[in-house]
Structure 1
Amino acid sequence: MSKEIKQGRVLVVGSINTDLVARSPHLPRPGETISGQAFSQVAGGKGGNQAVAAARIGARVAMVGCVGKDANGAQRVKDLETEGIDCAGIEVDPSQPTGVAIVTVSDDGENTIVVVAGSNGQLTPEAVARHEAAIKACDIVVCQLEIPWESVHATLALARRLGKITVLNPAPATGPLPAEWLPLIDYLVPNEVEAAILAGLPVESESGARRAATELQRGGTRNVIVTLGSQGAYLLLEGGEGTHFPAPQVQAVDTTAAGDTFIGVFAAQLAARQPLEGAIQLAQRAAAISVTRAGAQPSIPTRAEVDGAVGV
């Protein structure tokens, strides 16, 4: 691991969940009951996953979030601390249980996820403001949409005021982002489904990704990266230059946390001031490894695993 990578500082402001994961032959249709093959309870939440991905690739990581005053919350904080993540910014709220995600994973690696926010909903703008020092100390600030939107906006605005580079993973996306957010975002990183929702355009290919990214840039976002699963990723830079990055080809077992792995590794590379193209390619390799494994945080590879992977 290079010294430069060790020096990168990433702050993740976001969700912390316990994932309840059932494996089944296929995803159930509405009204259908099917027999599951296995069950596991693992650490998750987009914020937690992205923090772990950044830490395992070599960044110095801190997290701002909220857990409940329960066994799940205590265990999730312990899990993050084990990864070397600074958890001083994780608050405990006794009024709500720690967030959970109910995940079904099919034999072909696809998944459905139902998220119950719980204590993640208690991460207020006031809580974000209490951790201004953590934002001051970092190089990159990463957010998602599993906490209250007003708290995401507060984070982006504070990070911009403090001169930090911002990365927003707009997931889960339910509609266009507020117009006032877009100028606060240095890197907007949706997947193809999220990009289509945000831009109001179909995204089924590289050309669709470019059209959606161009539309999102018109609102003021500097750079857009649309991840396209097995079709790779499309980068549209602030100046209008676009690049398609083919994805490594692997046999998917479970796509849970693949996007989070990409985000965390990408942010870590940005924090370490690595070249942008190399940051995307390393993030793709890490995400490709993650889909060959089951679970959210258990699937995220270390730097040694990414560097040593053959054919990825």
Structure 2
Amino acid sequence: MNSKPIAIMGVFAIDLAFRVNRLPVWGETVLGSEFRLGPGGKGSNQSVAAARLGAQVHFISKVGSDNFGDIARRTYKEEGVDTQFLFSSDSDTTGAAAIIIDEIKGENAIVITPGAANALTTDEIDLARTQIAGSAVFMTQLELPLPIVVHGLNTAHGLGVPTILNPAPACALDDTTLALCDYLTPNESEAEALTGRRVASLEDAESAAGQLLARGVRNVILTLGARGALVKTSSMTVHIEAFNAGPVIDTTGAGDAFNAGLAVALSEGMSLEDAARFGCVVAGISVTRHGTAPSMPRRAELEQYKQASYKK
């Protein structure tokens, strides 16, 4: 097992999750069946998940000097995530996300405000160069301002550290940015935003992934929800089935679980195909539970599924 850590740059946001039987329309109020508050934000969720899977994690972000920021630091202390580069802002509030969950299907709609994380600077990222250089992989997302994301990718790329970009929430990216991505992990809607191609089938997914490879990405892992994931490189195309760990309760954070699993597996030297299978197992377990960070499984839980889910 590789002892190198993982560097993750992203957002911490407090998740305010509401379970409802349908979304309200503008001007309407609907009654919810449940409310939960907990730690969230894609980078934060991925950090917690990777730590629970046994990785040493350096998390690069910024929170406010407020109660939500205190929750962030307490969470990382409990989960064993390094916070040397979790900066504080006295003038910005910690990020927050409103999550609406379909109480029957477990599907979700999310609005996030990154808050203090939007004030993360390139100079602060540069303070973590030594830790990034010593990491097995560097992973980030698109909840931070794009120039900050690009600076992080550029830094890792220049240091020879493999990069993972989880392009969420969806937005257009130029070829220069895509060329900084060793691994790109869009879902269907994100792939459509990047390529202009609707992803409704495996053939669509393969076509979109091929277009992204042609634009400079070295490996594309397109996540397909209940259909699993499609892995495409210059030399292979593999469809990996989703892992069924039980009834789906909440899909919020499934993508973060997958990305964390992928990063940890790659850091341990697994092949890309096996790493994607590992990510599917992590995601498959997470959707059987409520919440984002709280739903992330621990490494010991995966061992019981090992034989059924992936083979070396």
* TM-score of the aligned structures, taking structure 1 as reference length: 0.95
Residue 242 of structure 1: aligned partner: 237
Mapped contact 2:221–2:276 kept (Cα < 8 A): no
Is the CA contact (8 Å cut-off) linking 1:253 and 1:292 kept in structure 2?
yes
Question: Quick one: percent identity of the two aligned structures?
Answer: 38
User: Is the CA contact 2:238–2:273 (under 8 Å) kept in the aligned structure 1?
Assistant: no
One of 95, 100, 106 as aligned partner of 1:109: 106
Give the distance between the partners of 1:56 and 1:36, measured in 2 at CA: 31
In the other structure, the counterpart of 2:89 is: 93
Residue 60 (structure 1) aligned with residue 56 (structure 2): yes
Counterpart AA for 1:81: K
Corresponding residue SS for 2:238: strand
Is 1:282–2:278 an aligned residue pair? yes
Q: Which of residues 136, 153, 156 is equivalent to 1:159?
A: 156
Q: Provide the residue aligned with 2:31 in structure 1.
A: 35
Cα distance in 2, alignment partners of residues 223 and 171 from structure 1: 17
Give the aligned partner of residue 196 of structure 1.
Answer: 192
Shift of 1:186: 0.3
Give the aligned residue type for 2:121.
Answer: T
Task: Give the superposition deviation at 1:28.
Answer: 2.6
The amino acid that maps onto 2:241 is: P
Are residue 258 (structure 1) and residue 267 (structure 2) matched?
A: no
Matched, 1:133 2:130: yes
- Which is further off, 187-196 or 268-277? 268-277
- Post-superposition Cα deviations, 1:145-196, rounded to whole Å, max 9, x if no partner, equal 111110110011110110000000000012x212211111100000111011
Deviations 1:184-216 (A, max 9, x none): 110000011101111110101111111111111
**Consecutive unaligned residues in structure 2, runs of 5 or more:** none
Q: Is the 8 A contact 1:64 1:128 kept in 2?
A: yes
The C-alpha deviation readout for 1:249-297, integer Å capped at 9, x for no partner, is 3421100000000001110111111222221111101101111111011
Cα distance in 2 for partners of 1:284, 1:68 equals 33
The amino acid of 2:139's aligned partner reads V
**SS state of the match for residue 210, structure 2?**
helix
Shift of 1:53: 1.1
Indicate if the aligned counterparts of 2:53 and 2:261 stay in contact, CA closer than 8 A.
Answer: yes
For 1:134 and 1:30, locate their aligned partners in 2 and report how far apart those are by CA, in whole Å: 46
What secondary structure, in the 3-state scheme, does the structure 1 residue paired with 2:226 have?
Answer: helix
Mapped contact 1:15–1:66 kept (Cα < 8 A): yes
CA displacement, residues 99-151 of structure 1 (integer Å, 9 cap, x when unaligned): 00011111110111110111010112222112212211211000001111101
Q: Measure, in 2, the Cα distance between the counterparts of 1:283 and 1:95.
A: 37
Q: What residue number does 2:143 align with?
A: 146
1:119 maps to a residue whose letter is: A
1:59–1:272 Cα contact (<8 Å) kept: no
**Residues 21 and 39 of structure 1 are in contact (CA less than 8 Å); yes or no, is this contact kept in structure 2?**
yes
User: What letter matches 2:18 in structure 1?
Assistant: A
User: Please, what TM-score do these two structures have when normalized by structure 2?
Assistant: 0.95
Whichever residue aligns with residue 93 of structure 2, its letter is P
**Greater CA deviation, 241-250 or 89-98?**
241-250
C-alpha distance after superposition, 1:82-110 (max 9, x if no partner): 11111101000111100000111111101
Cα distance in 2 for partners of 1:309, 1:35 equals: 38
Letter in 1 for 2:266: L
Give 2:170's aligned residue.
173
What SS does the aligned partner of 1:181 have? helix
Distance in 2 (CA, whole Å) between partners of 1:303 and 1:277 is 19
Please give the root-mean-square deviation of Cα atoms over the aligned residues, in Å: 1.4
Which secondary structure does the structure 1 equivalent of 2:85 belong to? Answer: strand
Alignment of 1:283-298 (within 5 A): 283-298=279-294
What corresponds to 1:20 in structure 2? 16
Q: CA separation in 2, counterparts of 1:158 and 1:223?
A: 19
Equivalent residues, number: 306
Describe the shift of the 1:309–1:273 C-alpha distance in structure 2 as closer, same or farther (beyond 3 A).
closer
